[in-house]
Structure 1
Amino acid sequence: MDLSLAEEYLLLALDDTSGRPMVSGQHLQLALAGASMAELTLRGALTVSDGADGGQRGRFRAAGRATPSDPVQREILDLLDNRRPKAAIQKIGQGGFGRRLRQTLQQGLAARGVLREEQVKVLGLFPITTWPAHDPAPEAAVRERVLAALTGSADADGPTSALVSLLLATDLLRKVFPEQDRRALKRRAKEIAASEWAGAAVKRAIDEVNAAMVAVTVAAAGAASSGS
């Protein structure tokens, strides 16, 4: 099955049985935004301007080629154009658009039979929607590809390297591969993330996801300490 990078990350981030994310909602939305940005750059639809291409130096620029057929991806491309990476990740990874991106991806995977939409009640009172696995095969294929890169049995291509970088940024490696040696996985993931697997635009996208994760975590810690 042909999956986008954001769909691949989402499948790995959701618990197969409960259908609930194994990271916070904010981190999940930021990672999905980063995955969307990374895919657009890997496909050549998005670049970081050097100032000599008619754009403003250091800002994302729609390259005018490899325009995605998916309407949400086209909307993301339009939103990213002429934005600095930090502003870009905030625009599509937080607030209403971030929630809509996540919802669109979940519904799309459910429509294709990969996930199953379920309504459950927390504490028997509060209704929430969960997305447990329905067809495990697509996720299993992604999991196998990522693990092969992490264990060195296969080279990591651009999309796999981006996915590994996002799993590392959101501290999901140990949850996705609990049977593997945690330290060895993290060490190899850091090597992949630091390697020359992508151009400047992808690197900037992943870097801004990392920075946004830290900012969200620090803000949450500050709010908790002030309320105690």
Structure 2
Amino acid sequence: MTGVALAEELLLLAYDDETGKATMPRISLDLGMAAAVLIELALAGRIAYAEGNLAVTDPAPVGEPIIDEVLARVAADTPHTPSSWVQRLRHGLRDRILGDLVARGVVRDVEETELGFITVHRYPVVDATVEKDTRDRLAAALTSGQLPDERTAALATLVAVLRMEPALGLSGAAADDARRRLEEIASGAGFSGNVSLDDSVVRPSVGLVVAALGQAVDQALGKRP
């Protein structure tokens, strides 16, 4: 695997470039990054859905330390459903990914004290090129009318499920239009809607993780109006 992981792209979209603060509920972001890592592994052919659970089909590392840690954890643990893995993986994942982005010089860690005793961290952007590529791909997907490549379709699916249209700088009617287009991309890629286990291995595996994420977000935030 090369390039930027889906979970990293989600995190960069979710944090304000200047303030370095999250612009969406952190619980949904944490759930989304957990799902993103599972989707990454499914797209790489490392895990697949089988008999109600996610199972490792190829234990070979993909070359990204955080993703490979998750792969090893799934391989070593007893089988669990997509929903269970989304919940199990969300704890601590955001801090790990932020730390990795800091180490790579993409964002910086600004430590501050609030109310005289509460330590908080902000993560303003240092290297904006990573996020620019993400935003450019999503913008092209929203406007082209064509189905984007598999990874961009997966990212669009996650953005839709996590209700991240405001992170794209959209509101009102524009946000509604974007949501419809994102959902159209997700369906067209086979990542949402009716999941057929008779289809390819990858699409049902991703689709079931997406469905589990959607249920978790609805439970955390309430159903979308």
TM-score in same-fold range (> 0.5)? yes
The reply on whether 1:217 has 2:221 as its aligned counterpart is yes
1:40 and 1:67 map into 2 onto residues whose CA distance is 10
Q: Normalising by structure 2, report the TM-score.
A: 0.84
Give % identity. 28
Counterpart contact for 1:48–1:201, Cα < 8 Å: yes
Structure 1 partner of 2:110: 118
Q: Normalising by structure 1, report the TM-score.
A: 0.83
CA separation of 1:129 and 1:196: change in aligned 2, threshold 3 A: same
The reply on whether 1:178 has 2:174 as its aligned counterpart is no
CA separation of 1:126 and 1:156: change in aligned 2, threshold 3 A: same
* Aligned pairs for 1:68-79 within 5 A: 68-79=62-73
* Aligned pairs for 1:45-60 within 5 A: 45-49=46-50, 57-60=51-54
Offset of residue 154 of structure 1: 5.5
Structure 1 partner of 2:197: none
Structure 2 partner of 1:221: none
1:196 and 1:176 map into 2 onto residues whose CA distance is 21
Equivalent of residue 85 in structure 2, options 74, 83, 88: 88
CA separation of 1:197 and 1:126: change in aligned 2, threshold 3 A: same
Gaps of 5+ in 1: 50-56, 219-228
Structure 2 partner of 1:207: 211
Moved more, 19-28 or 119-128: 119-128
1:4 and 1:137 map into 2 onto residues whose CA distance is 14
Amino acid at match of 2:81: R
Structure 2 partner of 1:225: none
1:182 and 1:2 map into 2 onto residues whose CA distance is 28
1:190 and 1:139 map into 2 onto residues whose CA distance is 22
Counterpart contact for 1:118–1:129, Cα < 8 Å: yes
The reply on whether 1:190 has 2:183 as its aligned counterpart is yes
Gaps of 5+ in 2: 192-202
CA separation of 1:196 and 1:145: change in aligned 2, threshold 3 A: closer
1:8-39 deviation per Cα after TM superposition (whole angstroms, max 9, x unaligned): 11111111111111112211110110110100
Amino acid at match of 1:87: S
The reply on whether 1:64 has 2:58 as its aligned counterpart is yes
Counterpart contact for 2:147–2:153, Cα < 8 Å: no
Offset of residue 162 of structure 1: 1.3
1:175 and 1:110 map into 2 onto residues whose CA distance is 21
1:195 and 1:174 map into 2 onto residues whose CA distance is 23
2:215 and 2:74 map into 1 onto residues whose CA distance is 17
CA separation of 1:125 and 1:79: change in aligned 2, threshold 3 A: same
Amino acid at match of 1:17: E
1:178 and 1:146 map into 2 onto residues whose CA distance is 13
Counting matched residue pairs gives 207
Q: Secondary structure at the match of 1:150?
A: helix
Q: Secondary structure at the match of 1:181?
A: helix
